[in-house]
Chain A
Amino acid sequence: MSPCGWMIPICLVLSGLLPALAQAPETPDAAFFAQDPRVLMRLCADEALRLKGRDSHLVAEYGDTMLALGDRKKAEEAFSRALERKPNDPQTRRLIALAWLRHGFLPEALRTYEAMVTLDLSGRYENRKNLFTKAAVDLLVAGQVKVAADYMERGFLLDKSDAANFLEFGRAALQVGEKDLAALYFTRATKADPKDVDTWLEITNAYADLVLRASKAASVPKP
């Protein structure tokens, strides 16, 4: 083989190694953060993992970034590692579910949310009603109205007095245009806590956002 023939495979091996060798600088400057976002995302995620690679939440979010980069294999490896570390931690499951959901993998997201809300919580601080609310809000924002409403109803049946959870879901519902669902949960929130000024302000501001968005949409000239 000619010298040129040997060079080609060597160059290919080296170019394959380059991304693995790339590392965030010790003192990153503005120019570093101004580079191509996809290159930056990988460098930042790798550096996060290097600094704190045993934290299950961080590893799950590393998987989120990998999904954003289209690297499903690396994402799945990260999700498995996160679950190995904290198999019974609802927040680890939620971060994984949210990652699937945000990047358009609905069946994977739904499976993970169901696993989260049915976790054995004995001896844990978490409250199942809050897990239902988190799953419901995430899914509602992603447009999965029916599943979201079902989860929220399951949370409501566990505790009919949690105004904060009802408000959070009601606000999300109004944001995505589900006015009837918003009305149901605002009614439940104000029934649970009728004298709390913050409850009324939250609802005021939720409708303020809606009115503002409607007026902006109306003022955009039609093509």
Chain B
Amino acid sequence: MRSTVLALVVGASLLAQVPEPPTEAFFKGDPTQVMLACAEKAVSLQPRKQVVLAQAGHAHLIAGDKAKAEAYFDRSASGTAETYRWLGQARLECGQAKEGIAALRQVGGRETYSKNAQRDAAVVLMEAGFPKEAEEIMDGAFQMGPKDWQNVMAFGRACLRQKRQDLASVWFARIMANQRKAEGLWNEIALAFADQGAER
């Protein structure tokens, strides 16, 4: 039994390898195996960088290998705001909502100036169907950069994608209160509605 398990593990890791040099045939292969092989390649290039480890964990969690994903997540803990955004996104996408939200709530506390990572976390939460938590985190990003209308637009577009014009309206009004004459803001709002929130 032990030898069978060992053979399976070795087999899986052999499958998840990028050929040298990488070929088109490799990239045309099974998408899960390509994803894992590329993640491992990235880790081999920067084995200590936490944001790389978090993304490798993301790939393994999607592939269903929770043990390997958790091992990578453990190694990426205490990373940057972006690392925590990846940790949260990975868990949310794979059905671990509670843990995902907890990780995304930590994004704001990782760095003194993490407004863009907080905005990304808020967008991830909005797209996953957690508007209350998304607004809470977006609020942190807004307080850090109250003139950053591009951040508000990115979040407003996410609201529109989720058919939440009511929420987008509040954020557009909020940024207009101090950036009404900002170059391009009115135009961006017109386009956000024209695109129904789709990203450009």
Contact = CB atoms under 8 A, between A and B. Distances in A.
Contacts of A200: 38-39, 41-42, 45
Contacts of B189: 33, 40, 44
Given A48-B184, A200-B42, A204-B38, A41 B31 contact: no
Interface string A50-78: 01100000100110110011000000000
A200 B186 CA distance: 38
B62 A32 contact: no
A191 B193 contact: no
B154 interface: no
B52 A33 contact: no
Interface stretch (A117-125, A147-155, A176-184): A176-184
Interface residues of A, number: 53
Given A30-B173, A33-B169, A183-B27, A211 B191 contact: no
A156 B34 CA distance: 24
Interface in A58-103: 58, 61-62, 64-65, 68-69, 102
Contacts of A186: 22, 27
A198 to B, nearest CB: 8
B194 interface: yes
B32 A211 contact: yes
Contacts of B59: 204, 207-208
B102 interface: no
Interface residues of B, number: 50
Given A195-B45, A201-B52, A211-B31, A33 B190 contact: no
B41 to A, nearest CB: 5
A214 interface: yes
B187 interface: yes
Contacts of A210: 31, 35
Contacts of A42: 190
Contact of B187 (A48, A187, A205, A214): A48
Interface in B17-34: 18, 21-28, 31-32, 34
B42 A197 contact: yes
Interface stretch (B109-117, B138-146, B174-182): B174-182
A34 B52 contact: no
B198 to A, nearest CB: 9
A214 B63 CA distance: 12
A31 B24 CA distance: 53
Given A27-B177, A34-B166, A207-B31, A45 B186 contact: yes
A22 to B, nearest CB: 14
B187 A27 contact: no
B46 interface: yes
A5 B39 CA distance: 77
Nearest to B37: A204
Contacts of B165: 33-34, 37
A187 B24 contact: yes
A29 B194 CA distance: 20
Contacts of B62: 208, 211-212, 215
Contacts of B190: 40-42, 44-45, 48, 61-62, 65
Given A33-B173, A207-B34, 10 more contacts: A32-B169, A33-B168, A61-B190, A61-B191, A186-B22, A200-B45, A205-B55, A210-B35, A211-B62, A211-B63
24 contacts: A28-B173, A30-B173, A31-B169, A33-B168, A33-B172, A33-B173, A44-B187, A51-B186, A52-B184, A58-B184, A61-B187, A69-B194, A183-B24, A183-B26, A183-B28, A186-B22, A194-B22, A197-B42, A197-B49, A200-B38, A201-B39, A207-B34, A208-B62, A211-B63
Interface of A: 24, 26-34, 37, 40-42, 44-45, 47-48, 51-52, 58, 61-62, 64-65, 68-69, 102, 179-180, 182-184, 186-187, 190-191, 194-197, 200-201, 203-205, 207-208, 210-212, 214-215
